[in-house]
Amino acid sequence: MSNKPIRVLYIIGGGEFGGAEQHVLSLMKGFEASAVTPQVACFYDALFAKRVQQAEIPVTSLGQGVFKSFQILRKIIHNFRPQIIHTHGVRANVLGRIVGKGFGIPLITTVHSCFALDYPKYLKRTIFYTLEKATRPAVHTYIAVSRAMKKDLVEQHVHPKKIQVIYNGIDTTLFVPGRKAQRDAAKQHTANDDRPVVLTVARLHPVKGHKDLLQAIEHVQTPARYVFVGDGEMRPELESIIRERSLPVDMVGHQDAIVPFYQQADLVVQPSISEGFSLSMAEALACGVPVVATRVGGCIEIASHVKSGASLVKAGDPLELAAGIDRMLQQPEMPDRKAIERMFSIQQMCEHTYNLYERVAKHHK
């Protein structure tokens, strides 16, 4: 380890609190103070920024205007003098690369998800992809959160030697199984019935597959109640479908305290169309809750590391999803928690990321 902590500036959108935002927050909090000195720049003064402030990490809102964001970021870099700029998300990537290159600061970009599916509208996708591709020469190293994300980058003509796979990490001291008596009592108190609880934790975005799950619920034979944790642009549409079809679904929005939801669940369902690395899948398995997930991206890799408790189904197929939910509710499997602790802890994520920071910082002295 270096004698002095490495100064890292994290740039991220921060308009919603999704997996990328959770990843950055966990990463910064997971480093020892003697290893990394973090600072954050984000485009929105929203929930993510507040959570960073609560962690006593400096954070600055860049605002929405391009020129203003450019000027504020230049000022941050001039004052903070980071040794590394670490970007997350297309807007952060483009701005960070342009400004960082001018200061001669090495850039690291983490890829959390499939670009094309994050931006379904053609014009927006084309503009962002053009800017993303044009600024790629400024990147020293890409971090892919799964082998699937590395494959996606290679298909976009990024050289494999510029990509390092570092799995997302979860706090395995926090995500722990609940006691069955407490879980049953909590379910009786909140639901006033003994139906199993099926939980989905994800931002409400088309790529997360909530509409497929709502279709699947109509075909599930086992009586159950469903809880959606998360917020986003699709909430009004999903609420409308739930009302129209009288589906047994509670939408509870974003929740800071997510562990009790896992501990009260009998099953977690991850119906994503695409998934870089499913934090909710890893979190559920760590809490001892079986998972039905779609056979996409990082979900495949998580399932390959656990001996039991994870069942994969075809993405975009509500009938197969319904059958998978029925199977796991009727014959639940206990997850292999040790595999989660071994492969997907915050400790391994921070260790691998710090080692990368150290190599990059030394190379650019």
pLDDT at 184: 54
Residues of the chain with pLDDT under 50: 1, 181, 185, 189
Among 131, 147, 250, which residue's Cα sits nearest to residue 190? 250
pLDDT at 124: 81
Question: Strand locations in the chain, DSSP E?
Answer: 6-12, 36-42, 59-61, 84-88, 107-111, 139-144, 163-165, 197-201, 225-229, 249-253, 267-270, 291-294, 310-313
State the residue for tokens 């760590």: 286
Q: Where in the chain is the domain with CATH 3.40.50.2000?
A: 6-169+345-363, 180-343
Q: In what order do the strands lie in the sheet with 6-12?
A: 59-61, 36-42, 6-12, 84-88, 107-111, 139-144, 163-165
Please tell me whether residue 142 adopts helix, strand or coil conformation. strand
pLDDT at 206: 92
- CA dist 93 and 109 (Å) reads 7
pLDDT at 19: 86
- What kind of fold does domain 6-169+345-363 have according to CATH? Rossmann fold (3.40.50)
Q: What CATH number matches the domain at 180-343, 3.30.70.1400, 3.40.950.10, 3.30.565.10, 3.40.50.2000?
A: 3.40.50.2000
CA-based R_g, the chain, Å: 21
pLDDT at 180: 55
pLDDT at 181: 46
Q: In what order do the strands lie in the sheet with 310-313?
A: 249-253, 225-229, 197-201, 267-270, 291-294, 310-313
State the residue for tokens 């799964």: 146
3-state helix/strand/coil string of 15-34: CCCCHHHHHHHHHHHHCCCC
Please tell me whether residue 55 adopts helix, strand or coil conformation. coil
